[in-house]
Structure 1
Amino acid sequence: MRNFLFLPFFLIFHFVSHSNILMIDSLRLAQSLNTGNQFQDNFFDGLNKKAIGNYNEAIKAFHSCLELIPENPTVLFLIGDLYLKDKSYELAEKNLNRSISLDPDNFWFKEKLYRMHVEKGDFNQAIKILKSLTYKSIDFKNELVDLYFKNGDFDLALDMIEILDTKYGYSQFRDRIKIDICKNASICKESFEKNGSRETSIKSNEASAEDFLKSGDLEKAIEFYQKAIEDSPISIKSVINLSDLYLKTEHYRIAFEFTKLQLDIFPTLIELYFINGTALYKLNKIAKSIEILEDGLDYIFEEDSIAFNYYHLLAKLYKETNNITKANSLIDKVNSLK
């Protein structure tokens, strides 16, 4: 028989370190109800079986605990967790919900239920629970943004990104989600704009710009991409195409200034680093061109279509500044991408 009052220090530390102080409370409750020894034996038997992966036997042991204390939220939580490990989602949800109903303010119980819904792909239910957990840390707020995105709630995701960026500053994680959303110009609009007329205007201006681009009238294409960006400043498609057109029409100073401004909004968009660096090179600002291109290396992937030209330009700049070692290293990368 185990006496809880003399539990080994390392075991108590294990509980506390995992924020499961309620386990200790459960054992104290068992002692106060004169079921202490029997409850403890079943309880620790369940923990031992769980530790070695014998989930069915662990569940049986914890059910024996419930026979002694039927409404013990911690035991119900542990049973729910075991069913979850076994992918028995219905039983897991039933027991986790029971534990939460008995201890509605318990963060860990709710988090486990939230993780279960994510695992199942039930994002609507996961979002409902996660909203009550975001007070805990910025990580949970970012997870809510991600869930909105995965659930197709793009306006909600953009709204929350704007709020979090304003409060906490830029996040590469959130920026990547924003870029993924904004690749579709019909979705990407300022989060507070919900009316269809603005969306129609964006589509119309972009369509006109593309028509002029196909016909070779680059200046007219620039004009309509500028209008599209006025309607939706976070239209990725328009931003990239307009930046590229400034280069093609040799408006290098404008290309540099425009992409510099856009990098404050989209600091992980690799196309902007490339166009900015190219514009600086054309303006004979070699050192600054190298600097901005090196900054962009953190955001480039070799499977990106732009990778070949990006590495080629930077290798050329290294060669012009007699940094042969770095130049050769990038030339090897260029050759590997051919």
Structure 2
Amino acid sequence: MRLKIYSCLVVFGMALSLTQETYAQVDFNKRPDDDLGNVEDAYQEYFFEALKQKGIENYQRSVEALQQCLKINDSDAVLYFELGKNYNKLKNFGAAEDALKKAISKEPDNEWYLDELYDVYIQQNEVDKAIKTVKQLVKYHPTYGDDLVGLYIRAKKYKNALQLLDELDKEYGVSEDRDYMRNQIYNITGDDDERIENLEERLESNPENEDNYLKLVYRYSESGEKEKAFKTAKKLLEVNPNSQLVHLALYKFYLDDNQVDNAVNSMEIVLTSSSINPDAKAKVLNDFVGFVGTHPEYESELLEVVTLIDNDKSTKTLKELGQYYLKTDDKAKALTYYEQALKEEPSNYNLIKDVLLLQLDMNQNEKAIIKSNEALELYPAQPIFYLINGVANNKMGYAKQAIEVLETGLDYVIEDPKMESDFYTQLSVAYGKQGNAQKAQNFAKKAEALKNGQE
């Protein structure tokens, strides 16, 4: 809901106006011949006391001071306004409503009074009363129009909301906030036809606007009208050949239509664009990788695109590339991309594990020992990192270190016979390297028993 747009300065201004008016009624050069001077002084003292108490959030005392003012002179609307605000803060909404209505009856066109009453209704979820109040406020500030739309939605008056949205868009132009509310209504009512009709009308009235095409492409696609979506995307390309965002839609249509050259061209534009966010690029790359997985004859095109984005890859893109090269059994390249991704997300558990397993597989044992030690600082209860560390130490001939880390890691293996068996196998290897044949044999038997499903 719209934030309050007035501040304590407004109140101070009202207070100043009030006191100036009071001063104008009293001649301070003349000694009062009755008690009127005392009355004026008392009025002002109570009023400023009320403002002071409200300023330190002592709302009840502020109310009491204002009530004293009313006993002296109940003709000033600002007294009821201040009283209403205090009651509002005290959550005494009935009293707040009464006081604010009294203020409004004295000054019907005062927007601050109406706005405070609006706030009272909103806090009580009195939607119908809030609507009636905001209708008056719209006369002063067009921004209240958006509030009114939101209230119509809360009241399930969707036709009123759409009609008002159309009026606001016509008067002030399309806005993101109003589009969000419009789509909220269409999502609630399920009226996709009207949603698309609205976008078609926008495009017709403003055929140069790229955003109109893109929104219509998206909605056509969502409703399963892919031919219309494809046609609209191509139309945008005719109107604006330099559009980059349109290729986020076009590449997919081209792939589905088996227009591979056009699809590759669109993907290159997306992946090298500085105006398209990394997540969108990662999705495009993922789709391309998936396409090449079923059409390996286009691998060279994928590699060409990858080369183009070497210096502009998100973490997600790096992971996708790592997975792709892992599938093609190019472990060196897979490891390179996983390591780059890990620099961006150094505590990512799955990335750490993938890097360590590849380092082991490629006999980068020193690196695996260092990296697994770092991993254990982050994840001291994950047995996989103890196992990897033990394997790497065994490969390097560091039997003592392998035994220490493997025996520690065993405590964290829970209901995982396969992993427990692997630990015993590595302990057997380590003790064998130390020349302790008896222990090596015992651990080898334990490993074998687990493999065979025996205790």
TM-score normalised according to structure 1 size: 0.63
2:128, 2:155 within 8 Å by CA — same for their partners in 1? yes
- Corresponding residue SS for 1:53: coil
Moved more, 28-37 or 71-80: 28-37
Which amino acid counterpart does residue 322 of structure 1 have in structure 2? Answer: L
Would you say 1:328 and 2:332 are equivalent positions?
no
What is the rounded CA distance, in whole Å, between the counterparts of 2:79 and 2:125 in structure 1?
26
Would you say 1:41 and 2:45 are equivalent positions?
yes
CA 1:276 to 1:177, structure 2 compared with 1: closer, same or farther past 3 Å? farther
Alignment map for 1:117-136 (pairs within 5 Å): 117-136=121-140
Residue of structure 2 in register with 1:150 after alignment = 154
2:100, 2:117 within 8 Å by CA — same for their partners in 1? yes
CA 1:46 to 1:121, structure 2 compared with 1: closer, same or farther past 3 Å? same
- Shift in Å, 1:284: 2.6
Residue of structure 1 in register with 2:18 after alignment = 26
Residue of structure 2 in register with 1:112 after alignment = 116
Which amino acid counterpart does residue 278 of structure 1 have in structure 2? Answer: K
Would you say 1:241 and 2:223 are equivalent positions?
yes
Alignment map for 1:1-338 (pairs within 5 Å): 17-18=9-10, 21-31=13-23, 32=25, 34=36, 35-184=39-188, 186-187=190-191, 190=194, 240-243=222-225, 245-246=226-227, 253-254=230-231, 256-257=233-234, 275-276=249-250, 278-279=252-253, 282=263, 284-286=265-267, 288-289=269-270, 294=275, 311-313=282-284, 320=306, 322-331=308-317
Which amino acid counterpart does residue 323 of structure 1 have in structure 2? Answer: I
Which amino acid counterpart does residue 27 of structure 1 have in structure 2? Answer: T
Which amino acid counterpart does residue 242 of structure 1 have in structure 2? Answer: G
- Shift in Å, 1:147: 1.5
What is the rounded CA distance, in whole Å, between the counterparts of 1:125 and 1:273 in structure 2?
48
Which amino acid counterpart does residue 158 of structure 1 have in structure 2? Answer: L
Moved more, 100-109 or 32-41: 32-41
Moved more, 70-79 or 24-33: 24-33
The answer to which structure, 1 or 2, has the higher relative contact order (CA under 8 A, 6+ apart) is 1
Which amino acid counterpart does residue 283 of structure 2 have in structure 1? Answer: H
Which amino acid counterpart does residue 24 of structure 1 have in structure 2? Answer: L
- Shift in Å, 1:277: 5.7
What is the rounded CA distance, in whole Å, between the counterparts of 1:319 and 1:288 in structure 2?
10
Which amino acid counterpart does residue 240 of structure 1 have in structure 2? Answer: E
CA 1:273 to 1:292, structure 2 compared with 1: closer, same or farther past 3 Å? farther
- Corresponding residue SS for 1:79: helix
What is the rounded CA distance, in whole Å, between the counterparts of 2:247 and 2:156 in structure 1?
29
What is the rounded CA distance, in whole Å, between the counterparts of 1:140 and 1:48 in structure 2?
31
Question: Alignment length, in residue pairs?
Answer: 259
Decide which structure has the larger Cα Rg and report it. 2
Residue of structure 1 in register with 2:338 after alignment = none
What is the rounded CA distance, in whole Å, between the counterparts of 1:177 and 1:70 in structure 2?
43
What is the rounded CA distance, in whole Å, between the counterparts of 2:48 and 2:15 in structure 1?
10
1:314, 1:327 within 8 Å by CA — same for their partners in 2? no
Which amino acid counterpart does residue 256 of structure 1 have in structure 2? Answer: A
CA RMSD of aligned residues (A): 4.0
What is the rounded CA distance, in whole Å, between the counterparts of 1:91 and 1:237 in structure 2?
49
- Corresponding residue SS for 1:326: coil
- 1:78-122 Cα deviation digits (max 9, x unpaired): 011001011111010010001101111111101110121112111
TM-score normalised according to structure 2 size: 0.48
- Corresponding residue SS for 1:167: helix
What is the rounded CA distance, in whole Å, between the counterparts of 2:108 and 2:229 in structure 1?
60
CA 1:324 to 1:104, structure 2 compared with 1: closer, same or farther past 3 Å? same
1:93, 1:113 within 8 Å by CA — same for their partners in 2? yes
Which amino acid counterpart does residue 331 of structure 1 have in structure 2? Answer: T
- Corresponding residue SS for 2:91: coil
What is the rounded CA distance, in whole Å, between the counterparts of 1:120 and 1:188 in structure 2?
33
What is the rounded CA distance, in whole Å, between the counterparts of 1:24 and 1:83 in structure 2?
22
- 1:101-149 Cα deviation digits (max 9, x unpaired): 1111111101110121112111111111111111333321111112212
- Shift in Å, 1:27: 2.3
What is the rounded CA distance, in whole Å, between the counterparts of 1:253 and 1:86 in structure 2?
58
